[in-house]
Chain A
């Protein structure tokens, strides 16, 4: 069965960087687009970024464009989110989710941006 396991969350100071990972198993990772979605504490869902199955195209929410970079390593079945210039408003649980239709989600990893 599909399994998505996020890691890399933690506490970081404003202006700092963090790299999230999402380890995938149970499906042919290299055949599917992947998303990052976040949820601030007590708030709703916010889509962050998408990468096509082969990494050829990447799309970002305006709120993270220029600061976050989505990437993947199909040889390692792993999705990444490099987060730079972090702000307090980036504090959230970050989920990876699989296409199509975000049909499968990981359990999330918490990122806290605080001094």
Chain B
């Protein structure tokens, strides 16, 4: 099974400041089709998860451009250029190259 490890598990950010979350996979997520099957989700308090980023760096429909994803192989990063109050929640990375596994989640709070 592919293990997804996120760091940090929690972070507290002042509005307007940047934030970064790391996700490492135990195996490469690069498929022979050339795609890398790494995704990012946000679960806001009391809500269902919502897709933010697909295939490492593509923003899903309606996702603000302050969210960006990067990385390759086994190391990936989600960055928020300027955190807003509405960004509070738990962020998960996910792989789908071999079934599906999620990271443990990173809780973001506002200072």
Question: Using a CB–CB distance below 8 Å, which chain A residues touch chain B?
Answer: 35, 37, 44-47, 50, 59, 61-62, 95, 100-108
Contacts and interface: CB of A to CB of B under 8 A. Distances in A.
A95 to B, nearest CB: 6
Contacts of B43: 45
A65 to B, nearest CB: 11
Contacts, number: 50
Nearest to A105: B48
Interface string B64-105: 000000000000000000000000001010101001111111
Interface residues of B, number: 22
The 4 closest A-B pairs by CB, nearest first: A47-B100, A105-B48, A101-B54, A45-B102
Contacts of B51: 101-104
Given A61-B99, A101-B39, A102-B39, A45 B48 contact: no
A105 B49 contact: yes
Given A45-B105, A47-B99, A108 B48 contact: yes
Given A101-B39, A103-B60, A45 B49 contact: yes
B101 A47 contact: yes
Interface string B37-51: 001010100001111
A50 B102 contact: no
Contacts of A101: 39, 51, 54-55, 60, 96
Nearest to A99: B96
A102 B92 contact: no
18 contacts: A35-B100, A44-B103, A44-B105, A45-B43, A45-B49, A45-B92, A45-B102, A46-B102, A50-B99, A59-B99, A61-B99, A95-B48, A101-B54, A102-B51, A102-B94, A102-B100, A103-B54, A105-B49
Given A35-B100, A45-B94, A47-B101, 16 more contacts: A44-B90, A44-B105, A45-B41, A45-B105, A46-B102, A47-B99, A50-B99, A50-B100, A95-B48, A100-B54, A101-B39, A101-B51, A101-B60, A101-B96, A105-B49, A107-B48
